[in-house]
């Protein structure tokens, strides 16, 4: 939970202070890259952490991930220009890529599926609760101290996480020998960066190796495939909102970084409340599909309200819109993870869980990048090169910035509509297993099927 706090704090503490960073270092056109580099670094490493955790145990990987994250944080705090910050954020992301999937995979290994809703809700609550503090701390630091402290503040939290992990977490070695598809690792990176041709080549390789990094057999399961797709779309909508709402509040409404943190907080409050309640309800009823249908509708409604904002929008109206979006977000994010974990054998738990986080990271990376392209295309050239502080733009600049940002929120609304359609057509509800013994039975059946398939 302490490690989860570390990653959750970083995601939101940067968002509210970043307009201040842009004002100090210059380069509003690199605004999006600060988020994209972080998410790209985490995205390409998530499958590796998931697979290596299944094979070699999760404790050493946890430690490595946190150390890399802390090194990246220290470098970000020392950055002298926007491109240095972008590069060091990628280092941070490489470390962060292991924190979320390893945490969720450990829950999947020790908690029966029927009880996982409660624990997933608790994890969501810890994440969201930490995120409540992040925007406020980021805004406060941006207004009252050097922005560099938004990165340095990670260091004591990270050290605490390392101490807790070293003291409390036993290492559980794998009970059987595995072979790692080391050649698949660069293929994962290449598939993401070189698009369709390398994706096809990667798919052919992974279908032939003994221990694929991304088992395509998992994606033949309709619930797994549809839940993974939904996670990608929700990630795009969620991180796009977190990235650009602070810029809207500071640049268009014209308030301080602290005020933008206050506006982001309702998103997290809505998410933490509904995440906890949803987890309790799912654990008691054993039903999770209603959340996958209601959640995107509520989140989409929040995005439409964000799209309608303009220069006359108040902080209160923006906060209301964020509450609605947060309620929808909290209803479904952990539920899609639960549906995947309930659909795979225990032996594939770490890989399957990492796949959900991988898809969310891919969606977030592509979503923020696409929204950034839309915003940059709509920004007047004079505003791009302006040296005026973001929160002190003249009226014409505020109008232009609002015009540039609104299409990004509309795109997020369309993404939510796509989540609803996929959930309606393809996410199926299976009875939640009530004990780890059920999972073990599933493992045995899966192993037998794999043996028969190999024999053929």
| Mean pLDDT of the 341-351 span | 79
Report CA 89 to chain centroid distance, whole Å: 15
Could you report the per-residue pLDDT of 390-415, keeping only the tens digit for each? 767 788 888 888 999 999 999 999 99
Residue 174 lies in a domain: no
Could you report the per-residue pLDDT of 58-115, keeping only the tens digit for each? 778 888 888 999 999 999 999 988 889 999 999 998 988 888 777 777 666 666 766 6
Q: What is the pLDDT of residue 436?
A: 55
Q: Is pLDDT above 70 for 450?
A: no
Q: What percent of the chain has pLDDT above 70?
A: 76
Domain that holds residue 283: 2-169+184-455
Q: Output 133 or 439, whichever has higher pLDDT.
A: 133
Could you report the per-residue pLDDT of 139-186, keeping only the tens digit for each? 888 888 888 998 998 888 888 888 887 887 665 554 445 454 445 445
Q: Output 434 or 329, whichever has higher pLDDT.
A: 329
| Mean pLDDT of the 231-236 span | 93
Binning pLDDT at 50, 70 and 90, where does residue 434 land? low
Residue 177 lies in a domain: no
Residue 178 lies in a domain: no
Spatial separation of the C-alpha atoms in residues 394 and 388, rounded to whole Å: 9
Residue 370 lies in a domain: yes
Residue 175 lies in a domain: no
Contacts 24+ apart (CB under 8 A), 289-292: 289/423, 289/427, 289/428, 289/429, 291/331, 291/332, 291/335, 292/230, 292/332, 292/335, 292/336, 292/339, 292/423, 292/427
Q: State the pTM of this model.
A: 0.69
Q: Is 7 exposed, middle or buried (0-12, 13-18, 19+ CB in 10 A)?
A: buried
| Mean pLDDT of the 43-66 span | 78
**DSSP labels for 51-98?**
HHHHHH-SHHHHHHHHHHHHHHHHHHHT--SHHHHHHHHHHHHHHHHH
The conformation of residue 242, written as its DSSP 8-state character, comes to H
Distances (CA, A) of 213 to 14, 179, 254, 445, 453: 31, 11, 47, 21, 19
CATH of the domain at 433: 1.20.1250.20
How many C-beta atoms surround the C-beta of residue 177 within 10 A? Answer: 6
Q: What is the pLDDT of residue 303?
A: 96
Residue 179 lies in a domain: no
Q: What is the pLDDT of residue 394?
A: 83
Q: Is 229 exposed, middle or buried (0-12, 13-18, 19+ CB in 10 A)?
A: buried
Go through the chain and tell me how many residues it has. 456
Residue 239 lies in a domain: yes
Rg (alpha carbons) of the chain, rounded to whole number: 21
Q: Output 125 or 292, whichever has higher pLDDT.
A: 292
Spatial separation of the C-alpha atoms in residues 12 and 128, rounded to whole Å: 10
Q: Is 48 exposed, middle or buried (0-12, 13-18, 19+ CB in 10 A)?
A: buried
Binning pLDDT at 50, 70 and 90, where does residue 447 land? very low
User: For the chain, how many structural domains are there in total?
Assistant: 1
Residue 241 lies in a domain: yes
């Amino acid at each position: 939970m302490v490690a989860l706090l570390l990653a959750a704090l970083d995601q939101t503490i940067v968002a509210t202070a970043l307009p201040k960073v842009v004002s100090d270092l210059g380069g509003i056109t690199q605004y999006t890259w600060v988020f994209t580099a972080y998410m790209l670094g985490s995205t390409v490493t998530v499958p590796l952490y998931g697979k290596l955790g299944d094979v070699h145990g999760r404790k050493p990987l946890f430690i490595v991930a946190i150390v890399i994250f802390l090194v990246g944080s220290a470098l970000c705090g020392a950055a002298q220009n926007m491109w240095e910050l972008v590069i060091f954020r990628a280092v941070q992301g490489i470390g962060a890529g292991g924190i979320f999937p390893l945490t969720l995979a450990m829950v999947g290994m020790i908690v029966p599926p029927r009880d996982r809703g409660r624990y997933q809700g608790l994890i969501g609550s810890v994440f969201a609760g930490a995120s409540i503090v992040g925007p406020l701390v980021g805004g406060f630091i941006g207004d009252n101290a050097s922005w560099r402290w938004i990165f340095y503040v990670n260091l004591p939290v990270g050290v605490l996480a390392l101490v807790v992990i070293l003291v409390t977490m036993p290492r559980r070695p794998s009970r059987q020998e595995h072979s790692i598809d080391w050649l698949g690792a660069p293929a994962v990176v290449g598939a993401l960066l070189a698009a369709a041709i390398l994706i096809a080549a990667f798919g052919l390789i992974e279908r032939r190796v003994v221990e694929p990094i991304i088992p395509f057999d998992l994606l033949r399961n309709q619930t797994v495939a549809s839940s993974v797709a939904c996670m990608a779309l929700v990630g795009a909508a969620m991180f796009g909102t977190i990235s650009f709402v602070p810029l809207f509040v500071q640049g268009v409404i014209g308030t301080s970084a602290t005020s933008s943190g206050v506006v982001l907080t309702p998103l997290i409050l809505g998410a933490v409340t509904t995440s906890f309640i949803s987890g309790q309800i799912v654990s008691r009823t054993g039903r999770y599909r209603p959340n996958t249908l209601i959640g995107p509708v509520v989140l989409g409604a929040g995005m439409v309200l964000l799209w309608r904002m303009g220069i006359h929008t108040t902080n209160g109206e923006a906060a209301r819109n964020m509450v609605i979006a947060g309620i929808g977000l909290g209803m479904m994010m952990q539920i899609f993870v639960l549906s995947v974990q309930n659909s795979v054998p225990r032996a594939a738990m770490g890989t399957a869980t990492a796949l959900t986080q991988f898809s969310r990271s891919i969606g977030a990376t592509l979503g923020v990048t696409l929204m950034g392209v839309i915003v940059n295309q709509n920004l007047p050239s004079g505003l791009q090169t302006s040296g005026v502080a973001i929160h002190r733009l003249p009226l014409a600049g505020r109008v232009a910035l609002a015009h540039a940002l609104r299409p990004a929120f509309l795109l997020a609304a369309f993404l939510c509509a796509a989540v609803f359609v996929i959930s309606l057509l393809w996410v199926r509800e299976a009875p939640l297993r009530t004990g780890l013994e059920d999972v073990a039975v599933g493992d045995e059946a899966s192993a037998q099927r794999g043996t028969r398939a190999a024999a053929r």
